[in-house]
Amino acid sequence: MKIAIASGKGGTGKTTVSVNLARTMGVPVQLLDCDVEEPNAHLFLKGNKVKEEIVTIPIPQVDEALCNGCGECSKFCEYTAIVTFGTAPLIFPEMCHGCGGCTRVCPTKAISEVGRRIGVVETRRSENIMLISGRLDVGVAMAPPLIRAVKERLQNNMPAVLDAPPGTSCPVIAAIRDAD
């Protein structure tokens, strides 16, 4: 069972409800703090850090010796993260969504991918609660990939409470997707 606690506005008590719901379940439970821009569930739980993992997304890297400047990569990219003017492409890593499409459409196979750090996922244990929270790095604009990384650590054999970020945009959708 996955229960998501969400609201269109911040400061309404989502984290308070999430933490207390997890505390009262009486069985081992997972609490996922999906508000990766401002995680705060750890403030309400005593416990020890078990693990911290760096999360990356793949971004393009161009081998200029192989690139012929055809521009197929920039035609494909819907986010203008890679552009070309008849020469080797310019890459804007902050705009890249990590879809990998540019690597697939490059006819000369000049594009490979490297990891770009976007944040960390931290796991803590507090009595019967396993808290999994994400923390987006300063300056990173895309929260959904980190929220997905938090949710990838869900164990299906335990109930889960998901503390969603405020609002109604992409981060909230990423957090509540697949909740019961």
**pLDDT tens digits along 95-148:** 999 999 999 999 999 999 999 999 999 999 999 999 999 999 999 989 999 999
Rounded Cα–Cα distance for residues 133 and 41 (Å): 8
Q: Which residue has the tokens 């081992």?
A: 28
SS (H, E, C) 117-144: EEEEEEEEEECCEEEEEEEECCCCCCCH
Instruction: Give the predicted TM-score (pTM) of the model.
Output: 0.88
Question: Would you say 178 and 161 are in contact if contact means Cβ atoms under 8 Å apart?
Answer: no
Quote the pLDDT of residue 175. Answer: 94
Quote the pLDDT of residue 46. Answer: 87
Does the pLDDT value for residue 86 go beyond 90? Answer: no
Quote the pLDDT of residue 45. Answer: 92
| Strand pairing report for 111-126 and 48-62 | antiparallel
* End-to-end Cα separation, the chain, in angstroms: 6
